[in-house]
Amino acid sequence: MNILVTGATRGIGKAIAKSLQGNIFAVGRNEELLREYRNYYVCDLTDNTGLKGLGEYIKANNIDILINNAGEYIYSPIEECSLDNISRIMKLNLEAPLYLISQAVPYMKLKGWGRIVNIGSISGVMGEACASLYSASKSGLIGGTKALALELAEFGITVNTINPGWVDTDMGNSSANNGDWSRDEIIECIPQRRFVAPSEVAGMVKYLISEDAKGVTGQSINLCAGLSVGC
């Protein structure tokens, strides 16, 4: 299997890329960190030229499993969000995944099989105050997943989104530190009283791309230690 993972240099993306079996194609912005992979592509997904180049790379390497993991979080009141902030978050978290899917689908259709897994966020399910850009982009990804699952079902292609809650990564810890609550206060609001481990997300990806999950498509799966249920 030819598996492409965006945002593969750290956190959830690295856990996913390291856990899967097959020809892994890692994508990220930091070439030095990407060099640990045999196949990699350096790309800033907010840059149209780079994004189009990655699309060609996907087609050239017959990618049949696409993991859209790269994303960015901004914690800010809406009145302090600039047009550049809005454009960047929507480009990275929503537009880029949809474009990469458009480039991967022709080969998947030809093969009659494919797997697409989008890494969303519980913030796209529940909403998060002072993170409206992030929540909106991830909510859009969930909507796109449902529509694409319907569109691609007859071709043997499944499309699903995993929505992590607070994850024990650099991004997750940085988000906790930059917000209005401490990590300990956040944990008190999580029913299991813990952050999710990146390996748990990787395990869910591993299941969704397997034949055991061939009947699972169009789903928005909350992997959040119970956060979506309530405190």
SS3 labels along 138-165? HHHHHHHHHHHHHHHHHHCEEEEEEEEC
- Distance, CA of 216 to CA of 32 (rounded, Å): 36
pTM of the full predicted structure? 0.93
pLDDT in tens, 89-135: 999 999 999 999 999 999 999 999 999 999 999 999 998 899 999 99
Quickly state the pLDDT bin for 172 (edges 50, 70, 90): low
pLDDT value at position 171?
66
Contact 8, 17 (CB under 8 A): yes
Query: Which structural domains are found in the chain, ordered by start?
Result: 2-165+197-223 (3.40.50.720)
| Angle, helices 132-152/96-111, rounded to nearest 10 degrees | 20
Is 134 among the residues known to form the active site?
yes
Amino acid at 160: N
For the chain, the distance separating the N- and C-terminal CA atoms, rounded to the nearest angstrom, is 41
Beta bridge pairs of residue 39? 25
Of the residues 40, 107, 134, 207, only one is catalytic, namely: 134
